[in-house]
Amino acid sequence: MTPRLLFLREGADAAYGRLASLAGEALARPLFLALLALALFIAVALFATFGGWAERKLIARIHSRRGPVFTGPLGLLQTVADMLKFLRKEIIFPEGSDRRLFALAPVLLVLPAFVALVVVPIGSLVIASSQYSLVIALALLSMGPIAMLAGAWASNSKFSTLGGLRSAGMAMSYEAVLALSAAGVALSAGTLDIAQIAQRQADMGVWFALTQPLAFALFLIAAVASVERNPFDLLEAESELVGGWKTEYGGVYFSLTLLAEYGKLLVTGCLFASLFLGGWTDAGGDLGFLAKVLVWAILMFSIRASAVRMRMDALLAKVWRALVPLALLNIVVTLGVSFALGGG
Amino acid sequence: MSEIPAGAAAAQDPAAILAGIATPGKGARAFAVDRKRIVDACAALHRAGFAHLCLITGIDWRDRWEVVYHLVRLEEPEPVVLRVALPYGEARIPSVASVWPGAVWHERETYDLLGIVFEGSPDPRRILLPQDYEGFPLRKEVLYGNRS
Amino acid sequence: MLDAETVVSLDPDVGYIHRGIEKLAENRMYFKFTPIANKLDYIAAAAWEHLYISCVERLIGLEPPERAVCARMAMVELQRVVSHLFWLGTLSMDLGQPTIFVWAMRERERLLDVFEDIMGGRMTYGWMIIGGLRDDLTPGQAARILAELDRLEKVLPEYLAATERDGLFRERLQGVGAISARDALAYGLTGPAARASGVPYDVRAHAPYLRYTQLGFRMVTRAAGDCWARYEVRRDEMRESMRLVRAALALMPEGPIRAQGAMTLRPPVALSMATPKDGEAFVRNECPRGEGAIMLVSDGSNYPSRSSRSCARG
């Protein structure tokens, strides 16, 4: 493929080069990392802003409504306005709550998404490449339930407790499916490095979505669950649980949870694109990668508008009785095929 | 798969069913029942296929109370009306919840608003007003507006 | 009372919107109570307005003219369609699917505009008066109703397909909340919920009023008694109601809309001569949520001595 399509890595390399020439090698590295961190934060914030706008517009059109129209042209600034509103609200700590933990929980939720973006390839750019990037990313994603439980317990409210237990239980179950389906792909590629997995698809000339269809489907389902969208959104089933574990959170903390949600959406989108759709290694390059993440996001939004919420016990039953066995089956078949084809 | 208690004698005339328990009143399907026999009357009608209890209500006639029961048999359009007269100082009547569990809500409402006590009811609480409310608003002695 | 995720027992605390209807009735002349009768169930006001009005008409022995009867029937059945659309929307909302809620509400809005045009209000009316109608149903309005029904009959299958073909939707409803016919009767359950449990009780078939026998009303029942059965009953009732609206409009003859001695909200010429001393009337209607019953007791004056209503439980 033509190198000029890998603008993300090229751009980062060029920027580092300029910085090194300006500030010297010793300073350049930490400075560059700091800049990258800032860029990452801005990227996630922008994704949250415009992704949020896109979601509301798309769902509105499915509803035959117009969505945000008043704030800015086409309502583009709606999320910004909402953020400003949240930031101005009074922070209320529920009576009897554990203040430190209450304040910490949303942060615990947001951090893994950001940190995961350091190891997960964003197009051709991998900020911290590692042989085990898949494991690290999945481990970070599974910190979600811990944050939920912490927030739920710290809130000292029965809605929060019920919601937190539900969310944690559900999230843990689906993380299992996520990990197992990704494991199938990793086994097929022979590596735990996401960048290598993407490269393998280019070498093989075919996407893993086609050679590992079962893992593809399972990952998709589990990812919808991990970003807590319909049909798995019991966490914020307003008609049932008020706000779930987030009930008592207002103002800044609430906006943090929204940021976390879109951060996770971005991470799972990048994972999805790299693991199953060849990432940036095919003809589309980085632009193709971004397009794939966009397709992923639109898919998430559409599913949200059309699916009914699943009942908790039905949900868990489906995971443990159907999805996990299927994921395990996929692993077995993958191993079998690879032994049959190439030995070892 | 309907489990409706089929009136074995669905053609049985209410007057025949209630012979000895109630006396005929105004209208072909209206009967006056003594307070002590209301449960028997309801049970007899229920056995004969009057499966649907439509309404239990009370009337304050200023010199007496009256509790009115409307019972419906699915095979006939006209309900049977049972009327029980109670002396004004004694607003008590046995509950028919043993015949229709759903009677409880009708009785609770009649107690709540008029103060007629349904003895033996499995749930004698008020239903609409707060539990610590004092008085019975629908009684004629409670004045509201320009009348009653 | 919860056992993990299962509700083990329940104690409903009701009465927050009771408003003392019966006491209000005792303090208003018969024709002034109509707006309050509407508010007995503001989602299906036409049905309860008709229930009250027909009860007063029974009390004083006044028959409304044929044109009024057919027009009332059309509006009562159209109200049933509107009430069931509301049900469809809120059902989806409760299941976590706001899309169908928005679609159902949109269809309902169009019919509410029709109500405003004909009856004077979107949700509560005051259009039926004792002895007839306040205003006539013009041919233009009738044509508008038919046009709206045509449109609804085209789009409703689309929405229903979205729900029925959705496996998750079915899974949430099938086998959930089953009520046996015996329990339904024992606890006084009426309306679509009772019919979904196999109880063949619909006042329109049982003790017909308006012109149901003439227009061949078909009762809808199911046997399973679960949420899915209740869904099916209401869905089929919507279709039957749309048919009845068309039939009622077709049946409506030319003629007066008020009987002799009809009572309007403008000061009447003579009022008390009509109400009998020691008169009593008990009327039942099939309101969209269940059976509605009103009992009126008169002492010969312009005011009811006692009014009692049985709320629809369904």
Whether residues A313 and C166 touch (CB distance < 8 A) is answered with: no
Residue-averaged pLDDT of chain A: 83
Contacts of A311 in chain C (CB under 8 A): 171-172
Q: How much is the average pLDDT of C89-98?
A: 87
pLDDT score at B96: 95
**Helix (H) / strand (E) containing C130:** strand C128-133
Alpha-carbon distances, residue A190 vs A120, A200, A210, C14 (angstroms): 18, 9, 17, 64
How many residue pairs bridge chain B and chain C with CB atoms within 8 Å of each other?
94
Angle of helix C66-94 relative to helix C45-60, nearest 10 degrees, comes to: 150
Per-residue pLDDT of chain B (148 residues; tens, 9 = 90+): 344 455 444 558 888 888 888 888 877 789 999 999 999 999 999 999 999 999 999 999 889 999 999 999 998 899 999 999 999 989 999 999 999 999 999 999 999 999 999 999 999 999 999 999 999 999 988 888 665 4
Residue A44: partners with Cβ closer than 8 Å, 6 or more residues away: A113, A114, A117, A259, A262, A263, A266
DSSP C39-87: GGGTTSHHHHHHHHHHHHHHHHT-PPPHHHHHHHHHHHHHHHHHHHHHH
pLDDT score at C306: 78
pLDDT score at C118: 95
Q: Is residue C18 situated within a structural domain? A: no
Tell me, yes or no, if C155 comes closer than 8 A to chain A by beta carbon. no
CATH homologous superfamily of B14-93 equals NADH:ubiquinone oxidoreductase Nqo5 subunit (3.30.460.80)
pLDDT score at A76: 87
pLDDT score at C314: 43
Among chain C residues, the shortest Cα distance to A307 is held by C97
Closest approach of C75 to chain A, Cα-based (Å): 28
User: In whole angstroms, how large is the CA radius of gyration of chain B?
Assistant: 16
Q: Could you tell me if C98 and C79 are in contact, meaning their C-beta atoms sit under 8 angstroms apart?
A: no
pLDDT score at C119: 94
- Can you give the residue ranges of every domain in chain B? 14-93
The strand pairing partners of C2, in sequence order, are C7
- The 3-state DSSP class for residue A250 equals coil
Instruction: Reply yes or no on whether the pLDDT at C271 is more than 70.
Output: no
pLDDT score at C1: 58
Identify whether B130 is preceded by a cis peptide bond (ω within 30 of 0).
no
pLDDT score at A235: 60
Q: Is residue C2 situated within a structural domain? A: no
Whether residues C186 and B100 touch (CB distance < 8 A) is answered with: yes
Whether residues C15 and B127 touch (CB distance < 8 A) is answered with: yes
Q: How much is the average pLDDT of C278-289?
A: 88
Low-confidence ranges of chain A (pLDDT < 70): 1-4, 234-244, 343-344
As for the ipTM of the complex, it is 0.87
Tell me, yes or no, if A231 comes closer than 8 A to chain C by beta carbon. yes
Residue-averaged pLDDT of chain C: 87
- Which residue out of B42, B52, B69 would a mutagenesis test of the C interface target, given it has the greatest number of C Cβ atoms within 10 Å? B52
- Which residue out of B72, B78, B141 would a mutagenesis test of the C interface target, given it has the greatest number of C Cβ atoms within 10 Å? B72
Question: How far apart are the C-alpha atoms of C74 and A338, rounded to whole Å?
Answer: 71
Q: Could you tell me if C197 and C229 are in contact, meaning their C-beta atoms sit under 8 angstroms apart?
A: yes
- Buried b / exposed e over C133-148, threshold 16 CB at 10 Å, is bbebbeeebbebbeeb
pLDDT score at B4: 45
Residue A32: partners with Cβ closer than 8 Å, 6 or more residues away: A15, A16, A19
Instruction: Reply yes or no on whether the pLDDT at C191 is more than 80.
Output: yes
Question: How far apart are the C-alpha atoms of C215 and A197, rounded to whole Å?
Answer: 70
Instruction: Reply yes or no on whether the pLDDT at C65 is more than 50.
Output: yes
pLDDT score at A242: 59
Domain that holds residue C276: 24-254+262-310
Of A194, A288, A296, the closest CA to residue A1 belongs to A288
**Chains C and B contact (Cβ–Cβ under 8 Å for 3 or more pairs):** yes
Contacts of B137 in chain C (CB under 8 A): 20, 23
Own/partner long-range contacts of A131-138 (Cβ < 8 Å, ≥24 apart):
A131/A191, A131/A192, A131/A193, A132/A192, A132/A193, A133/A192, A133/A193, A133/A194, A133/A195, A134/A182, A134/A186, A134/A192, A134/A193, A134/A194, A134/A197, A134/A275, A135/A192, A137/A194, A137/A267, A137/A271, A138/A175, A138/A178, A138/A179, A138/A182
Closest approach of C96 to chain A, Cα-based (Å): 5
β-strands B117-119, B92-94: how paired? parallel
Instruction: Reply yes or no on whether the pLDDT at C270 is more than 60.
Output: no
CATH of the domain at C61: 1.10.645.10
Q: Which of residues 99-128 of B touch C (CB under 8 A)?
A: 100-103, 105-106, 113, 127-128
Count of domains observed in chain C: 1
Closest CB to C293 among B54, B59, B142:
B54
